[in-house]
Structure 1
Amino acid sequence: MSLPQGKDFLPPRPLRSGHIQTMLSSSGVRRLLLPKAAQTVLNGAEPVTVDGGDGVRLTGAYTAQRTQARSRGLAVLFHGWEGSVDSTYVLQTGSRLLADGWDIFRLNFRDHGDSHNLNEALFHSCRIDEVVNALLDIAQRYPSRPMALAGFSLGGNFALRAALRAPAVGLPLSYALAVCPIIDPSEGLFSLEEAAPWFYQAYFMHKWRRSLQAKQAAFPHREYFELSELKQSLRGLTASLVMRHTDFDTLEAYLDGYSVAGEALANMHVPATILTARDDPVIPVDAFEKLRLSANVELDISTYGGHCGFIRGWDMTSFTDDYIAARFNAIAPA
Structure 2
Amino acid sequence: MITGRHLADFKPPPWLANRHLQTLLPRALPQPASRLIEEQLELPDGDFVELAWVDAPALADETPLLVLFHGLEGSVDSPYARHLLDAAERRGWRAVLMHFRGCGTRLNRLPRAYHSGDTADARWCLESLAQRYPAAPRVALGVSLGANMLLKLVAEDTDNALGLTGAIAVAPPVDLAACADTLQRGVARVYQRHLLGALKAKVAPRLARQELPLTLSRDELARFTTLRAYDDAITAPLHGFKDAADYYHRAAAGPLLETIALPTLILHADDDPFMPQGLYNGLTLGPGIRLETARHGGHVGYVEWQNGRPASWLARRVGRQLDAWSTRASTPAISRSDS
TM-score by length of 1: 0.87
Question: Aligned equivalents of 2:314 and 2:274: distance in 1?
Answer: 18
- Indicate yes or no: 2:312 matched with 1:318: yes
User: Corresponding residue for 1:14?
Assistant: 15
Question: Aligned equivalents of 1:261 and 1:57: distance in 2?
Answer: 28
- Give how far 1:69 is off: 7.1
**Cα distance per residue 1:195-250 (max 9 Å; x no partner):** 55331221111111122235457x65446541233121222121101453132223
2:254 aligns to what SS in structure 1? Answer: coil
Q: Is the 8 A contact 1:111 1:215 kept in 2?
A: no
Question: Aligned equivalents of 2:44 and 2:190: distance in 1?
Answer: 37
- Indicate yes or no: 2:85 matched with 1:84: no
User: Corresponding residue for 1:208?
Assistant: 199
Question: Aligned equivalents of 2:236 and 2:313: distance in 1?
Answer: 40
Seen in structure 2, the aligned counterparts of structure 1 residues 6 and 112 have a Cα distance that, compared at 3 Å, is farther
User: Corresponding residue for 1:252?
Assistant: 245
Question: Aligned equivalents of 1:243 and 1:99: distance in 2?
Answer: 40
Question: Aligned equivalents of 1:271 and 1:326: distance in 2?
Answer: 14
User: Corresponding residue for 2:331?
Assistant: none
Seen in structure 2, the aligned counterparts of structure 1 residues 113 and 70 have a Cα distance that, compared at 3 Å, is closer
Seen in structure 2, the aligned counterparts of structure 1 residues 222 and 68 have a Cα distance that, compared at 3 Å, is closer
- Give how far 1:147 is off: 0.2
The one of 181, 184, 196 aligned to 2:175: 184
1:58 aligns to what SS in structure 2? Answer: strand
- Indicate yes or no: 2:188 matched with 1:197: yes
Seen in structure 2, the aligned counterparts of structure 1 residues 92 and 193 have a Cα distance that, compared at 3 Å, is same
Counterpart residue identity of residue 200, structure 1 = Y
Counterpart residue identity of residue 48, structure 1 = E
User: Corresponding residue for 1:97?
Assistant: 88
- Indicate yes or no: 2:294 matched with 1:302: yes
Describe how 1:116-127 pairs up with structure 2 within 5 A: 116-127=107-118
**Cα distance per residue 1:50-79 (max 9 Å; x no partner):** 243222311112235449878640000111
Counterpart residue identity of residue 53, structure 1 = P
Seen in structure 2, the aligned counterparts of structure 1 residues 82 and 315 have a Cα distance that, compared at 3 Å, is farther
Q: 5+ unaligned residues in a row in structure 2: which ranges?
A: 329-339
The one of 197, 200, 217 aligned to 1:226: 217
Counterpart residue identity of residue 241, structure 1 = I
Question: RMSD across aligned C-alpha pairs, in angstroms?
Answer: 2.7
Q: Is the 8 A contact 1:279 1:305 kept in 2?
A: yes
Q: Is the 8 A contact 2:112 2:239 kept in 1?
A: no
Q: How many residues align?
A: 321
Q: Is the 8 A contact 2:130 2:162 kept in 1?
A: yes
Greater shift, 272-281 or 52-61, is seen at: 52-61
Seen in structure 2, the aligned counterparts of structure 1 residues 60 and 305 have a Cα distance that, compared at 3 Å, is same
Question: Aligned equivalents of 1:257 and 1:123: distance in 2?
Answer: 14
Seen in structure 2, the aligned counterparts of structure 1 residues 142 and 118 have a Cα distance that, compared at 3 Å, is farther
Structure with the larger helix share: 1
Q: 5+ unaligned residues in a row in structure 1: which ranges?
A: none
Describe how 1:1-334 pairs up with structure 2 within 5 A: 7-25=8-26, 27=27, 30=28, 33-34=29-30, 38-40=32-34, 43=35, 45-63=36-54, 65-66=56-57, 72-143=63-134, 145-168=136-159, 170-213=161-204, 215-216=206-207, 221-222=211-212, 224=214, 225-230=216-221, 231-234=223-226, 235-242=228-235, 244-262=237-255, 264-313=256-305, 315-333=309-327
Q: Is the 8 A contact 2:111 2:213 kept in 1?
A: no
1:188 aligns to what SS in structure 2? Answer: helix
User: Corresponding residue for 2:334?
Assistant: none
- Give how far 1:191 is off: 0.9
Q: Is the 8 A contact 1:153 1:180 kept in 2?
A: yes
**Cα distance per residue 1:234-268 (max 9 Å; x no partner):** 22121101453132223211111211124x11111
- Give how far 1:137 is off: 1.4
Counterpart residue identity of residue 301, structure 1 = T
Q: Is the 8 A contact 1:79 1:154 kept in 2?
A: yes
Seen in structure 2, the aligned counterparts of structure 1 residues 285 and 327 have a Cα distance that, compared at 3 Å, is farther
- Give how far 1:97 is off: 0.9
Greater shift, 270-279 or 121-130, is seen at: 121-130
Seen in structure 2, the aligned counterparts of structure 1 residues 143 and 61 have a Cα distance that, compared at 3 Å, is farther
**Cα distance per residue 1:136-187 (max 9 Å; x no partner):** 1122233452100111111111121222233557211110001111110000
